[in-house]
Amino acid sequence: MTVTTISEANSELTLRLRQQELAAEFATFSLQHDEVQPVLDEACRVAAKGMECTLSKVLEFLPSDGEFVMRAGLGWHPGSVGHVRLGADLASPAGFAFQTGQPVLSNHLANETRFRTPKLLVEHGVHRAFNVLVETPDWRYGVLEVDSPDERDFSISDTAFLQTLAATLALAIAKANRRRDLSESEARYRALSETLEMQVVERTRERDRLWELSEDLLVVADYDGRLLRINPAWGRLLGKADADIVRDGYPALIHPDDLARVEATLLEMRSEGASARYTNRIEAQDGHWIWISWTLSPEPGGERLTGVGRDVTAEREEAALRERLEDQLRQSQKMEAVGQLTGGLAHDFNNLLTGIVGSLEMMNTRIAQGRIKDLERYIGAAQGAATRAAALTHRLLAFSRRQTLDPKPVRFDALVEGISDLVRRTVGPGIEVSTLAEPGLWNALCDPNQLENALLNLAINARDAMPDGGRLTIKSENVVIDWQHAGFRDMPAGQFVAVSVTDTGSGMPAEVVARAFDPFFTTKPLGVGTGLGLSMVYGFCKQSGGQVRIHSLVGEGTTVTIYLPRDASGFEAETEDKVHPTVPNALAGQTVLVVDDEPTVRLLVTDVLQDLGYAAIEAADGASGLKVLQSDVRIDLLVSDVGLPGGMNGRQMADAARVRRPDLKVLFITGYAEGAAVRDAALDTGMHVMTKPFAMDALAARIGAIIKVGD
């Protein structure tokens, strides 16, 4: 309910502000034009735009004929202007407004009993009409009419806008007619000893009436901020005498934070001779700041400008109250998501910890009982629970886009073909699996291991959606996303490699698709799956600079498409060797420095190193580790966590050590790439990364491979 109310208020406020801007622009336009027809045409255009309609016209009343004639029109046949005549009696909407002297709003012409619908409106399919008088206190010109063939109802703000427009139009017509009359009667005025000065005074008087009546700030100024002429609205708004305002100049009123921007705008106007719009704050007599929205136009000659300023303080305060309400709503939604995430995480980890702790307790009991033959069963249970816990943390980090990635050029077609057998074994014989790849497929830039995990997750979801069998298709293709489609897909424009996983399963309704990437959201039965599969895929794609999208129809199947950026490096894609090499034993004297603030990790790593024959040195923080590295002790490899206490992380320590030991080999071991120390900063030559938790044999193999390189 709250979101709907804010949206409706925002739409109404936007329309009202736009109407006020259009009215101000028309006032400026009428001040700068002395001919009637351009002003009439502009009035039709502004009225239709402000009312969001396609039809508008100005009707002049001809006293001699007792009829209206169309003097300007928008949306009507070009031949209508100057020729179409309409009755001015109470039988038509325009005549009703003219005769009664009141605005006539009809949102349902077909149901009107006050008058009948003119043939012209019927021919154009008009359902709604709005007529207001165009008049001054001592003269009535005719009617300004806006017509709508659609179902939009006119509102109170429409009434105020159209009446303001009509009042400005009447003054502009009177001013233009008076100028025309002066030109046509020049000889008569000369005979009456009227001088050119009297004509100027008369024109000025009409212009002054506009300035006197306006609630907006009207000004004639120069480009240095000197106010040459202001209307009374300035004094009323600021609570200052007009003479004081003119004497001090506009820069003295401007908020210090806005002054440079205003001066830059005026300089640009002066050099280019173009109109400008901007908003800034000015100070009132009581010290409070008022927001003014300005529309400025250069005058002929290039040294002065004319401006209209509107007080938008209330609108901005209302908008600020709305950027706060929306923030509160987002915060509430965020806390709800955090609660859901925490609850799901606690549920799964408590189950896993129960398996680990319980297995360890049973191992202690059996050892005390001397029943060591049961230990293997409990060791397996603890290792299995720990492995599932590691997978859960990896998925959480992928969802939050903080996992450690190792992006490299990847041949999509080769990778998909390489895991196709694993996919077939995973989904079972009842599902037909096919792979398609576009010829000339680009390389993608991503972490190949994470891409394989993502595709396997999608394959498992597809399998679960086809319990009775079906068809699964993995298709790879090159995709170019332009700026228009990029916004629609919520991703940057550019070149991507896309891989789609399509099944012929049960499909998903729209409400499920909308939540598919939420953490711990699942449609599977309780205890089946963690609800992190798709959220992990989403996090991996976003962290890689790509996107993932779902298209699904209930009963027809689902397509999940992963977009990953094209690799532009030109390097050949690497072929992964999945076979672990034999781990060589250390040579005499080879030493490894282990830096980690977790004693258990240091214990395990140093034990592995000692089993391989390496000498191991331990340090608990970056400063202690750097002291060792800056000494003369032989160090063949630095194994360090990235996040370390004491103000120096592992990457900073390694970089500082390489000043003295430029060829130092480094293996970072990390739960995630904290502070972008590894993730966002490219690793230098001789630096490697390994994500916790890891198997001890994998660590041993990695250490042996790194130290062997170059030895």
What is the DSSP track for 412-458?
HHHHHHHHHHHHHHHH-TTEEEEEEE-TTPPEEEE-HHHHHHHHHHH
Cis peptide before 38 (omega within 30 of 0): no
State how far the Cα of 699 lies from the Cα of 54, in Å rounded to an integer: 73
Whether 562 contacts 506, CB under 8 Å = no
What pLDDT score was predicted for residue 578?
A: 45
CATH superfamily placement of domain 408-565: Histidine kinase-like ATPase, C-terminal domain (3.30.565.10)
Region of residue 475 (left: phi > 0; alpha: psi -120 to 50; beta: else)? beta
The CATH number fitting domain 2-191, selected from 3.40.50.11740, 3.40.50.300, 3.30.450.40, 3.40.50.720? 3.30.450.40
CA dihedral (171, 176, 177, 178) positive or negative: positive
**Listed residue (578, 18, 29) closest to 297, CA to CA:** 29
Task: List the chain residues with pLDDT less than 70.
Answer: 1-10, 151-152, 181-203, 207, 327, 329-355, 358, 385, 388-406, 484, 488, 519-533, 570-584, 671-682, 709-711
**Listed residue (591, 643, 598) closest to 617, CA to CA:** 591
State how far the Cα of 445 lies from the Cα of 544, in Å rounded to an integer: 8
State how far the Cα of 697 lies from the Cα of 615, in Å rounded to an integer: 18
How many other C-beta atoms are found inside a 10 Å radius of the C-beta of residue 359?
21
What pLDDT score was predicted for residue 200?
A: 58
CATH class, domain 214-311, is alpha beta
What pLDDT score was predicted for residue 392?
A: 63
Whether 15 contacts 157, CB under 8 Å = yes
- Condensed to tens digits (0 to 9), the pLDDT of residues 271-320 reads 888 889 999 999 999 999 999 999 999 988 778 898 899 999 888 888 77
What pLDDT score was predicted for residue 675?
A: 38
Please give the C-alpha separations between residue 412 and each of 497, 571, 597, in angstroms, as whole numbers.
8, 14, 39
* Domain spans of the chain, in order of start: 2-191, 214-311, 317-399, 408-565, 591-708
What pLDDT score was predicted for residue 289?
A: 92
Residue 594 neighbours by CB under 8 Å, 6+ apart: 602, 605, 606, 609, 616, 617, 618, 619, 639, 640
Percent of the chain with pLDDT over 70: 81
What pLDDT score was predicted for residue 401?
A: 42
Mean pLDDT for the chain overall: 81
The yes-or-no answer to whether 214-311 and 591-708 have a common fold is no
State how far the Cα of 658 lies from the Cα of 662, in Å rounded to an integer: 4
* Segment (H or E) for 180: helix 156-184
CATH superfamily placement of domain 591-708: Response regulator (3.40.50.2300)
3-class secondary structure per residue, 132-174: EEEEECCEEEEEEEEEECCCCCCCHHHHHHHHHHHHHHHHHHH
Q: Where are the alpha helices (DSSP H) in 505-574?
A: 510-515, 533-543
Furthest-apart CA pair in the chain: how many Å?
134
Q: What are the b/e assignments for 30-47, b being 16+ CB within 10 Å?
A: bbeebebebbbbbbbebb
Residue 140, phi then psi, degrees to nearest 5? -115, 120
**Cα pseudo-dihedral 96, 60, 73, 46, rounded to 10:** -80
Whether 396 contacts 555, CB under 8 Å = no
What pLDDT score was predicted for residue 373?
A: 80
